[in-house]
């Protein structure tokens, strides 16, 4: 029998199932386990891409199916509390706004005369999207400041 090759890499399902069996979703709360415990469970090195791939898939499945977000702090997996979820969301928004500001800078450095008509249309679209996102972010900031004043 010919050995099977996996074009996208080794499947993660078996290792994810191993983690889920060891740490059932119904019992997930607070600290779950140290990274090394999980690595020993799935028999791979903590620093390997395999470890990162499998744990990312496990965390994604748990989040999708249960709404529990598994974070990693100081080498320990833990379920985020609601206030920690808010911190995570705010951090993601800050990061997104930095990306939007960066895209605006890049657009500003672009020589439009050297672009094709299609590329100019794409630049215009990117600029409009960035402006809309920045405006929406500033309106949210203004709304929260007005609420504080009242």
Task: Look at residue 111 and tell me whether its pLDDT is greater than 70.
Answer: yes
**pTM over cut 0.75:** no
| Residue 122 pLDDT grade (very low, low, confident, very high; cuts 50, 70, 90) | very high
> What are the CB-based long-range contacts (under 8 Å, 24+) for 13-21?
15/42, 15/44, 15/54, 16/54, 16/57, 16/58, 16/61, 18/42, 19/54, 19/55, 19/58, 20/58, 20/61, 20/62
| Residue 121 pLDDT grade (very low, low, confident, very high; cuts 50, 70, 90) | very high
């Amino acid at each position: 029998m010919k050995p099977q090759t996996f074009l996208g890499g080794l499947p993660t399902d078996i290792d994810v199932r191993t983690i889920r069996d060891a740490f059932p979703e119904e019992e997930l709360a607070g600290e779950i386990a140290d990274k090394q415990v999980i690595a020993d469970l799935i028999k791979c090195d903590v620093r390997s891409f395999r470890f990162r791939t499998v744990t990312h898939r496990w965390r994604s499945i748990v989040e999708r199916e249960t709404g529990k977000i598994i974070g990693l702090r100081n080498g320990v997996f833990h379920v985020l509390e609601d206030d920690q979820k808010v911190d995570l969301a705010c951090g993601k928004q800050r990061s997104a706004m930095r990306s939007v500001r960066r895209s605006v800078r890049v657009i500003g450095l672009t020589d439009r005369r050297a672009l094709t008509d299609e590329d100019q249309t794409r630049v215009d679209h990117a600029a409009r999207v960035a402006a809309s996102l920045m405006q929406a972010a500033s309106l949210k900031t203004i709304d929260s400041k007005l609420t504080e004043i009242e």
